[in-house]
Amino acid sequence: MVKYLILQNPGHNRVFYKEAGELAAAELSIASQRLSVECTDIATQEVAGVRYITLSCNDDLSEADINILSRLSFVFAIFHQFGIFAEDGLLPIPFAKYEYLDSKISTLQKYPGKTNELFTKMMVNVALLASDFTYDDAISLLDPISGRGTTLNEAAVYGFNAFGVEIEHKSVHENQVFFKKHLQNERLKYLSDRRMVYGKKKSEAIYIDEFEYANSKEAFKDETQRKKLGVVNGNAQDVDKYFKKNSFNLIVGDLPYGIAHGNSGANKSSTGTRNPLELIRTGLPAWKAVLKTGGTMVLAWNSFVLAKNRLAEVFEQQGLKVLNEAPYDGFEHMVDKSIKRDIIVVKKL
């Protein structure tokens, strides 16, 4: 047996309080199904007062395995343990360099209502690892409730094409301004385009703001190597009107939490809905239509306002497979007094 110890990103502890170890173990268990070696003993272990996540494998991890582990949201450092006890020796293993864009694109921004970027990265990882696709495929990801774009930014760090739909114009605008500024600050080549994606008359027109960019001048010259990031200022329930059927490998999003942030407890915001069940019921047929077979949806919601089995029923009624069993059931955690967050993982078979 070869034993590895993984040190957790301190930010992970901050986001998930005391459940950080369990969430990390769940993400690692899902990832371990993709490794070239057989792994057991995924648990937490203290060494000299510091918590590590352990992983025992029947052989050395390959380069491709390190490539997968380096991406996990909680991973800060990976050590190969030699000797019988962890105290005997820990040899650091170099990380794989996988970032297409610098991850600061996702960490720099702070605003009310932002979904934590480590949590978002975890959702993107779980979606990819539960799907029939690999990180090396040409992945297109959709966030149908994209806010100011944390999921899209995380997808861009991975070099995925990333598309969002968001009902609030202000968020769409801020997302677009920020992304453009980032490309300019990093001196990356890009094209930007605004075009109608839906509507016969101007009064009912729905637009997408889209960037085509690359992380080097050479890559930008070759159109097939360019990446896309686009946001539609529209309604999540209409994604099949904005995008072609079977066009996304992954759908990832953080649903409205079902609680009013600062205004009067009404269940509707000015344009969208705060009720996650209503949003799923009305949006799911369209989300299913744009998702490829073998693709997955990972959605976060507040389990205080909606039980998982009620949510799961809606997906099952649409003929989708809800991954309910361990380790997919290991993600529930407290965010604050009114939000207990969980994720649901769903596959289109």
Ligand X SMILES: C[S@@+](CC[C@H](N)C(=O)[O-])C[C@H]1O[C@@H](n2cnc3c(N)ncnc32)[C@H](O)[C@@H]1O
- Contacts with ligand X by CB under 6 A lie at 113-115, 145, 147-151, 165-168, 171, 235-237, 254, 256, 272-273, 279
Query: Exposed, middle or buried, 94 (CB in 10 Å: 0-12/13-18/19+)?
Result: exposed
Strands 291-302 and 248-254, by their bridges, are parallel
Give the shortest CB-44-to-ligand X separation in angstroms. 28
Give the shortest CB-207-to-ligand X separation in angstroms. 14
Measure the CA–CA gap between 240 and 204, rounded to whole angstroms.
16
Question: Quick one: 95 or 178, whose CB is closer to ligand X?
Answer: 178
Give the shortest CB-276-to-ligand X separation in angstroms. 9
Q: Is 144 helix (H, G, I), strand (E, B) or coil?
A: coil
Residue found by looking up tokens 């997408």 in the block: 208
Residue 83 phi, psi dihedral angles, 5° rounding: 90, 180
Give the shortest CB-306-to-ligand X separation in angstroms. 14
Question: Quick one: 81 or 171, whose CB is closer to ligand X?
Answer: 171
Q: In sequence order, what are the beta bridge partners of 196?
A: 207
Q: In sequence order, what are the beta bridge partners of 345?
A: 298
Question: Quick one: 148 or 333, whose CB is closer to ligand X?
Answer: 148
Give the shortest CB-325-to-ligand X separation in angstroms. 27
Question: Quick one: 74 or 119, whose CB is closer to ligand X?
Answer: 119
Give the shortest CB-136-to-ligand X separation in angstroms. 26
Question: Quick one: 92 or 113, whose CB is closer to ligand X?
Answer: 113
Query: Per-residue b/e over 118-139, b at no fewer than 16 CB within 10 Å?
Result: bbbbbbbbbbbbbbebebeeeb
Question: Quick one: 114 or 321, whose CB is closer to ligand X?
Answer: 114
Measure the CA–CA gap between 256 and 275, rounded to whole angstroms.
7
- In the chain, the amino acid numbered 20 is A
Question: Quick one: 166 or 210, whose CB is closer to ligand X?
Answer: 166
Give the shortest CB-239-to-ligand X separation in angstroms. 9
Query: Under 8 Å CB-to-CB from 218, ≥6 apart: which residues?
Result: none
Edge-to-edge strand list for the sheet holding 90-93:
39-47, 50-57, 2-8, 75-81, 90-93
Give the shortest CB-116-to-ligand X separation in angstroms. 8
Question: Quick one: 125 or 151, whose CB is closer to ligand X?
Answer: 151
Query: Per-residue b/e over 192-225, b at no fewer than 16 CB within 10 Å?
Result: eeeeebeeeeeeeebbbbbbbbbbeeebbeeeee
Measure the CA–CA gap between 196 and 216, rounded to whole angstroms.
29
